Structure 1
Amino acid sequence: MRGIKFRKVRMLFFSIFSFSCFFVLLLNLMVVQLNSPENARKLNLNPGSLQRKLSQHQKFVVEDLDNSEEFRKHYQNAKIIERKPQGMKEENVPHKSNKVFYNPVQYITEKQKHNIEMDYKISQLKKLVKKKRQDFIYDYEPDINKAYIEDEDEDDEDDYDYPNSKEMNNHNKELILNNFNETKLNFLKPKLKFHEVPLVKPVKLVTKSVLSITNKTHVIRNVVEDGIYWSNEVEQLIPKGFDDDQLANWTKNIRQQPIKSLKLPTWNKCGRAKNRYVILGDGTSLCGRYRHPHNKLVLGEVLSFYLSKLLKMDNVPGVVLSKLDSSTLQWSSQNLDEAGWEEGKFVALIQWIPDMETRKSYVHMPKQILEALESNSLVNAVSLADDHLSPPVLSDLVQWGTMIIFDYLTANYDRVGSMQDGAYREKNPSILKENIRNLRVSLQKRKLWLIDNESGLLDAYDLLYKGGENGKQFITFHQQMLRTMCIFQRSVVQALQSLHKTIEPHKTLEDFARQQEPFVDQIPKDDSFDIFKIMFSKRLNDVFEWILYCQNR
């Protein structure tokens, strides 16, 4: 038994020894093969590689010789002794070798020699440019006639595209050499043409102050004007919605188009069970809001929309009232009973904003406003001076500031107010960091849209002023939000001033809505409308006094 084990160990030993010998032998064969002259020629020593090595040692650009007849004629028999490029210092000489290279330069014409020298000088200039690339400072000269254009290409080999020796214009080469300023490493070019002038002004860093904000991609100057107004430069950042003409055309089209289909609502399309996702004959999409017998919610949606128009806002979806009548062209093809809609009642057809049906369109409260709300402080010119705000953040702040005023006037409890209520009842302030209800951002334009405003002005007033302790709490919530912002859109403030000067602001709003919407007086009204007529002026006065307070700080 012991002998068997010994034989196995011996066989294993011989196997390992044999494999090692074979491996060493194979390795030696590979080394010999690699060092053979034939392989050396295949790897590095063909005529092309000789030419590249010669170019590296002598600093000559010899592409022009490739097509030269004399080069091909003398290349076969020419003999050359290795030498250093002229002007090279001894310490910079490449490592010498014993190899003898054929040098076609000894047999070229004077013209070719001149071209080679010119190419050599240009190659030296290119290398200087490449070496000093990091020290370049790019700027535009205000005076076009004095403009200095710096080399901005990423690929150094593409900076100048020179033809071969037969087509090369030597005069242009000499011009480039003469115009080269080795101190500044700039190439002079002819005067700028119109398409070389930048379409936008160059970005310049400015000192951060109360009225200017700088970031890496954009510079916003004069963020705040006259202490409390967003500057025109900031307001230009806000994506545009429908203007008055577009809205008038949209409204006219809605009233004339027949209803093609009424689709069931979903969580991201029109919400409540009795609402419908409406498609018109021309493909226009709408939300049909049917709230009978709670008619004040339909009227609240309409009045809130027209209040936004009075305030020069363009981010509240348009609303058109439609009377349900199967005998009319608009409703003749629809089964109203199937939708649970009653003949003779009113439905609000609300503008559908695309690109807002996914969770990506959800919106959070800006950090600046949230911090002001939690710390009982203000967002004003001084507080913004310490932040490096990007244009999107500034755009959001502008739109949020106007939304706070709008929601205070309408007393909307179903947007930020409901978030404040949840945080208060659950004693959980982090609720304010969640997605804000009924506020969405359009993914294409990045514009904020205030959707679902049915609670505004009527039902919300009913809650605030007839809702007991719960109503008082919502009054506090709205006051807290109003007192976070001390920067306003100038156009909104001017519109508020005009409305505040009227004797009966609520009547001004009613008359404005009545001019645009013929059915507004046909919607039944309840006691909440009486509260609206009294308290709307009070809340408008609150907003106006807050603006004056910010102005006089």
Structure 2
Amino acid sequence: MPFLLCNMSGGRAQLCLELHRNSYHFLRRPPSQAAQKTFRALLTLPRQSTEPQEGPGEIAEQLPPSPVRGGIFWSRALEAQVPPGFSAKEAASWLRAAREARVVSLERGGCGRSSNRLARLSDGSRACVRYGINPEQIQGEALSYHLAGLLGMQERLPPLALSRVDARGGQWAQVRDEVRGSHWAEGAVVSLAQWVDNLTDVVAPAPWRAEAGAAAGGRRLQPLAAGELQGLGPAQLVELVQWSDLILFDYLTANFDRLVSNLFSLQWDPRVMHRATSNLHRAPNGGLVFLDNEAGLVHGYRLLAMWDKYNEPLLRSVCVFREATAQRVRDLHHLRNAASELLRLYRTQEPLAELLGFLSDQQAQLLQERIDFVHKHILHCKAKASAL
């Protein structure tokens, strides 16, 4: 599929966006019924049915009066309430098993576009197999996964490994007919991402739903800051902790196929911000899962001119951060080594890294520039908080 399609606007741009969108089967929640429009009014509303709810076994602990410390960092007590994601130990175990297992069946459906498959592995587990329209999509997904590790937020992404398709033997021998029927190129590199059961969709929290109207009308987005969190319950605050990481991550990778795609669709659908967010789901324990990151880095950097007008305002809409995330960004800014550290991590943890290659020099420079921009934004938020 030629990339110039993505440089178009209107219907063609929407078509391009859909070609890159993968979605999982999940239970759908009813759309939001919120009718308030202003940012501050929404922040002080009691919890609505579309927001995460407390219940048996879920977030119910009373948090300290202030969810923010130091003006811009989520409190440690609040961060402790964030549901765990994929632990490093669990991820390493799954990746080791997935690389050693044989693929015993390939099924259509459940993993996005028609070229993808749901694989059943010989150890009994399942994985989404993604075959990119272009190899840079698989490269972007793999690099995004390891960048999340560099930033300390990899637990929010399903474990992901690369595999080389070989219908003649090895891992793919038992499904050679299915592989041939899929029209995958022999020797193509695909990604295997751990399948996650019982995911539900996620609607953007109130602040971004409210700001959708402002974005559509051309008014400047207002930052989610410490002074505007009163009235929110523990579950809402815990979700915002995860969203602050997500928006920062999507800015760094220039991922246009998540919340940005919803903002883009406002020109056709004024209610889109009250609908499910693309490639973002909630696990049964309430934790967010950042799925399908193939639009990030390589492909996203190619299309910065089209999508940064959405990604940059989204980043500016966040002025509260996980301190650990801010520290990672600060270190990468001061050491000027974002690309080299990503390359080191990628080669260390992915045996097939050399088959897809790495970022070009220009892309590596873009990554460092975006790290620097995020660091500058965090300092700006800190200065504003100190002036209050």
TM range (shorter): 0.7 to 0.9
- Partner residue in 2 for 1:492: 325
- Partner residue in 1 for 2:27: none
Give the whole-Å Cα distance in 1 for the aligned partners of 2:233 and 2:111.
33
- Partner residue in 1 for 2:203: 364
8 A Cα contact 1:502 1:508, kept in partner: no
Give the whole-Å Cα distance in 2 for the aligned partners of 1:371 and 1:382.
17
Q: Deviations over 1:136-185 (max 9, x none)?
A: xxxxxxxxxxxxxxxxxxxxxxxxxxxxxxxxxxxxxxxxxxxxxxxxxx
* Secondary structure in 2 matching 1:334: helix
Give the Å deviation of 1:530. 4.5
- Partner residue in 2 for 1:279: 120
* Secondary structure in 1 matching 2:119: strand
8 A Cα contact 2:86 2:157, kept in partner: no
Give the whole-Å Cα distance in 1 for the aligned partners of 2:108 and 2:62.
47
Unaligned runs of 5+ in 2: 1-45, 48-53, 55-59, 215-219
Any residues of structure 2 matched to 1:151-230 within 5 Å, and which?
218-221=61-64, 222-230=66-74
Give the Å deviation of 1:298. 0.3
- Partner residue in 2 for 1:85: none
Give the whole-Å Cα distance in 2 for the aligned partners of 1:391 and 1:307.
29
Name the aligned partner's letter for residue 242 of structure 2: Q
Name the aligned partner's letter for residue 353 of structure 1: V
Any residues of structure 2 matched to 1:351-430 within 5 Å, and which?
351-356=194-199, 361-372=200-211, 374=214, 376-385=221-230, 387=231, 389-423=232-266, 425-426=267-268, 429-430=270-271
Give the whole-Å Cα distance in 2 for the aligned partners of 1:218 and 1:346.
46
Name the aligned partner's letter for residue 522 of structure 1: L
TM-score (norm 1): 0.55
- Partner residue in 1 for 2:374: 543
Give the Å deviation of 1:370. 3.0
1:231 pairs with 2:75:
yes
* Secondary structure in 2 matching 1:332: helix
Unaligned runs of 5+ in 1: 1-213, 466-470
1:329 pairs with 2:141:
no
Give the Å deviation of 1:396. 0.9
Name the aligned partner's letter for residue 276 of structure 1: R
Give the whole-Å Cα distance in 1 for the aligned partners of 2:349 and 2:367.
21
Q: 1:376–1:524: structure 2 CA closer, same or farther, 3 Å change rule?
A: closer
Name the aligned partner's letter for residue 379 of structure 1: L
Q: Which moved more, 1:315-324 or 1:366-375?
A: 366-375
Task: Name which structure has the greater RCO, CA cutoff 8 Å, separation 6+.
Answer: 2
Give the Å deviation of 1:328. 4.0
Give the whole-Å Cα distance in 1 for the aligned partners of 2:92 and 2:201.
29
Q: Deviations over 1:302-335 (max 9, x none)?
A: 0000011111111111210011123443112112
Name the aligned partner's letter for residue 239 of structure 2: D
1:252 pairs with 2:96:
yes
Among 306, 315, 321, the residue aligned to 1:482: 315
1:445 pairs with 2:288:
no
* Secondary structure in 1 matching 2:223: coil
**What is the percentage of aligned positions where both structures have the same residue?**
31
Q: 1:521–1:378: structure 2 CA closer, same or farther, 3 Å change rule?
A: same
- Partner residue in 1 for 2:161: 320
Name the aligned partner's letter for residue 458 of structure 1: V
Name the aligned partner's letter for residue 251 of structure 2: Y
* Secondary structure in 2 matching 1:333: helix
Q: Deviations over 1:170-218 (max 9, x none)?
A: xxxxxxxxxxxxxxxxxxxxxxxxxxxxxxxxxxxxxxxxxxxx99964
- Partner residue in 2 for 1:458: 298
- Partner residue in 2 for 1:302: 142
Q: Deviations over 1:493-551 (max 9, x none)?
A: 111122222333122212211110021121267xx844422211111111111100111
Structure with greater proportional strand content? 2
Give the Å deviation of 1:339. 2.1
Q: Deviations over 1:347-370 (max 9, x none)?
A: 1111111112xxxx1111111233
8 A Cα contact 2:143 2:297, kept in partner: yes
Name the aligned partner's letter for residue 227 of structure 1: G
Among 335, 356, 361, the residue aligned to 1:502: 335
Give the Å deviation of 1:372. 4.8
Give the whole-Å Cα distance in 1 for the aligned partners of 2:202 and 2:262.
13
Q: For the pair shown, which has the larger CA radius of gyration, 1 or 2? A: 1
Name the aligned partner's letter for residue 415 of structure 1: R
